[in-house]
Structure 1
């Protein structure tokens, strides 16, 4: 096969999704921590599903439209860090296929090159031995093995084989993978996607999928016409950016003068981009589907600050509400919200400044991606647990500006320690600690430090390690989860009070899943 047309590309997209869906549990099991959270495979699968849903609504079925729809869907549907990186890989693919009617060897080479470049740019501190390394190695192979007349099946097999070699080598690059005896989960998810796409290219795809029955996607409710004066070398960057935000984008460009019409559900994103990137000559916005009933309502007055927090747990939710958090997004360790979930909540908060608390390291990237999509003044405080939000909010000062508040709140949570206690779902070794399936594990500031067959003893051991490390601890707050026994939690607090007579010990209902106990030490 020398070229891939739109019909075959759509089959490859669906084949990629289906193959990952079938194997997502295998990817989940590769998580280094043996905690029953199931992140990576689930997140990548749900991200890809959002892309496929968008593709299946695409009218016209050109190569460019399929790639663009896939990019838009994965961007808004991105969940977890692995999902955000996947969305950026797809974005690089979409850039490559702009204006293309078919895909040949040249486009394949450039897809891998641009996908890798775009994904690396999206990560603040890229780590080798991850999905990024797997993508980069395939990009290098695509360049090395390029031949314009090459059979695409053979070309892709060479590239994907190199990706598998890179994946198998990830434990050599990351000691934590080697110790756990696993390869990188994100890289494995990417390989499943590419294998599924290759299978579909070779005709191995379920015949019950009706590729022609997709409903046409509705045009965005807003029509934005604008004329912009821009620098010659900025044209491609600006047009690509606006194109990625639009359901339809038509333009004329000559001698630094861009005339364009875009359709979108979120015109503020496009308008914000226009005002920043060029000199505005003309701007017209038309709502083609006006909501007359809501249009007559008085606009909300903007307060100075608004807050959004991701939370999971009845007790945690109640505490957040008492601290005047405007929006609580249901999610956490086992259910990461998408970029779109976070973006929609940002849009609903009537405030001049918005602070987002992701409360999980795997939700930080999606939160930042959502901030990039809005024209509101929103920033992410990189909280990794819900109790960190409680501490941060106590440091908040209404009279300070947004950047100053973020800095002060970040300083406050940097001085605290977090202990989390869960159950191991498999035998493994982490940080030179041998862990048995169904034993309890104590995690201190993101690192496994203790394991026993008794949940209370594991909790006490993890807290002891934290106290021994920091002489300044004066308060321990123990949050018990939905599966913890309240009576045993009270007994644990009594034991801790005897262990540490100079430290105040408090017990609070969190109601969180996954972790029987979470404790903050301040």
Structure 2
């Protein structure tokens, strides 16, 4: 095989998604922490599914158009850190295939090079022994074994084989992986995707590809009208002109003096605007809702624009109630077991009528998606890197409307740096982490992101997790947020026990209602 056309590339994306979908639970089980939180495999699977849905809804005839649709879909559908990194790998592929009708062997080499570069740039502090390492080694292998007479599928097999070797070596690069006896979950997810794509490339079975995703779009669906004028290179403008003609309604356009003027109807204005931005400089643009909801429009007008708006990710009835009492504009359902996508956060931003927006992701695995949403939006937004919901409560109390977003961000970050977070969950497998031997169905205590204790009861595990910190540091306040599976009486008894044990510390008990974690405890 010497080339890959648009149809074959679509089949490869379908194959990649299906193979990961079959193995996502295996990827989830590779997480170092044995917590029942369906994580990496689910996030990567939902990210590639979003990309595939975008491809299937687009009328496309070149690999450039397939890659663009996949990139747009994974960008907005990215969930968790692994999903964001996957979207950046896809973005690197899309850059390589710009303007191309087919993929040749030389393009494969550039795809892996650009994918690696784009993904590494997206991560502030790249860590070896992760999905990034697997991507880097495959890029190096693509360079090493490249020669023009190779068959394309053999070439890919060598590259993916090198990726598998790199994946198997990740425990030697990250001690925490070696101790837990697992390989990197993100790297494993990437290998599953590439294996699925390679299987589809070598398959002789032609799949019917549903471009409409099973639904015909009627005139009622195209409720937004866009007019724009865009300056750019003739090549880019022609490509955009052809793409928009295929995926919009009532399209009309003209290109003159390196400027494209166009008018059309669409059902997804945010995605179209992002597509336009990638191809040039917008000189002017207008968007009209052809069927506005008059009641909603009136209500929006009656609300005065304000200086600040807030978005927070939350999971649990108690947490949600506290967020509402603190006047958070948009509460996005999500957390450890359900990471919201970039698009979920982006859409929440678009619904807030405020000059500046402050986002609280409240989970380390949502921070990258929040930052990606802030970059995509044209609104002024900052992300406070909160890793738990209680951190957001403390950060919000530090907010000062008279200060700039940057000053507020600095102050909030200082506050959350002084907070310690302990959590109690249950182990889903036998493992060893931080030299602690953990048995399946025992409870685990996590302090500031590290497993520090295990026991057969929830309360003993929680006490073990915090005792050294409370005794060694100047802790004056302990706040216990109890989860959905903890009885209120049980939580009260635990709070009283801590009050008696640590007489110099104030103990507060709050209903969080969170899943997965029986207790989340802040120590200040």
Structure 1 length as normaliser, TM-score?
0.90
CA distance in 2, matches of 1:204, 1:57: 24
SS at match of 1:169: helix
Match of 1:132 in 2: 132
SS at match of 2:454: strand
Match of 1:518 in 2: 520
Match of 1:356 in 2: 359
Match of residue 445, structure 1, among 441, 448, 451:
448
Match of residue 470, structure 2, among 461, 467, 471:
467
Match of residue 266, structure 1, among 266, 270, 275:
270
Structure 2 length as normaliser, TM-score?
0.90
SS at match of 1:418: strand
CA gap of 1:271–1:200, structure 2 versus 1, over 3 A, is closer
- Deviation at residue 503 of structure 1 after TM alignment: 0.3
Match of 2:116 in 1: 116
Match of 1:508 in 2: 510
1:172 aligns with 2:175: no
1:143 aligns with 2:143: yes
CA distance in 1, matches of 2:263, 2:439: 57
CA distance in 1, matches of 2:451, 2:118: 33
1:191-216 deviation digits (Å, cap 9, x = unpaired): 000000000011176x7755567457
- Matched pairs, number: 507
CA distance in 1, matches of 2:385, 2:466: 23
The answer (yes or no) to whether the contact 1:19–1:196 under 8 Å persists in 2 is yes
CA distance in 2, matches of 1:357, 1:267: 24
Match of residue 376, structure 1, among 379, 383, 393:
379
The answer (yes or no) to whether the contact 1:247–1:262 under 8 Å persists in 2 is no
Match of 1:16 in 2: 16
> What is the root-mean-square deviation in Å for CA atoms of aligned residues?
2.9
Alignment of 1:91-240 (within 5 A): 91-203=91-203, 210-211=209-210, 214=213, 221-228=224-231
CA gap of 1:262–1:109, structure 2 versus 1, over 3 A, is farther
Match of residue 325, structure 1, among 322, 325, 328:
328
CA distance in 2, matches of 1:284, 1:421: 51
- Deviation at residue 414 of structure 1 after TM alignment: 0.7
CA distance in 1, matches of 2:12, 2:232: 39
CA gap of 1:64–1:253, structure 2 versus 1, over 3 A, is farther
CA gap of 1:286–1:334, structure 2 versus 1, over 3 A, is closer
The answer (yes or no) to whether the contact 1:2–1:104 under 8 Å persists in 2 is yes
- Deviation at residue 65 of structure 1 after TM alignment: 1.4
1:484 aligns with 2:486: yes
The answer (yes or no) to whether the contact 1:451–1:458 under 8 Å persists in 2 is yes
- Deviation at residue 17 of structure 1 after TM alignment: 0.0
- Deviation at residue 498 of structure 1 after TM alignment: 1.1
CA distance in 2, matches of 1:335, 1:262: 39
CA distance in 1, matches of 2:452, 2:123: 28
The answer (yes or no) to whether the contact 1:2–1:152 under 8 Å persists in 2 is yes
- Deviation at residue 228 of structure 1 after TM alignment: 3.9
1:367-395 deviation digits (Å, cap 9, x = unpaired): 00000111111110000000001111111
CA distance in 1, matches of 2:263, 2:190: 32
CA distance in 2, matches of 1:195, 1:85: 18
- Deviation at residue 286 of structure 1 after TM alignment: 5.1
CA gap of 1:443–1:196, structure 2 versus 1, over 3 A, is same
Match of 1:494 in 2: 496
Which stretches in structure 1 are left out of the alignment for 5+ residues?
none
CA gap of 1:51–1:109, structure 2 versus 1, over 3 A, is same
- Deviation at residue 262 of structure 1 after TM alignment: 8.6
Match of 2:310 in 1: 307
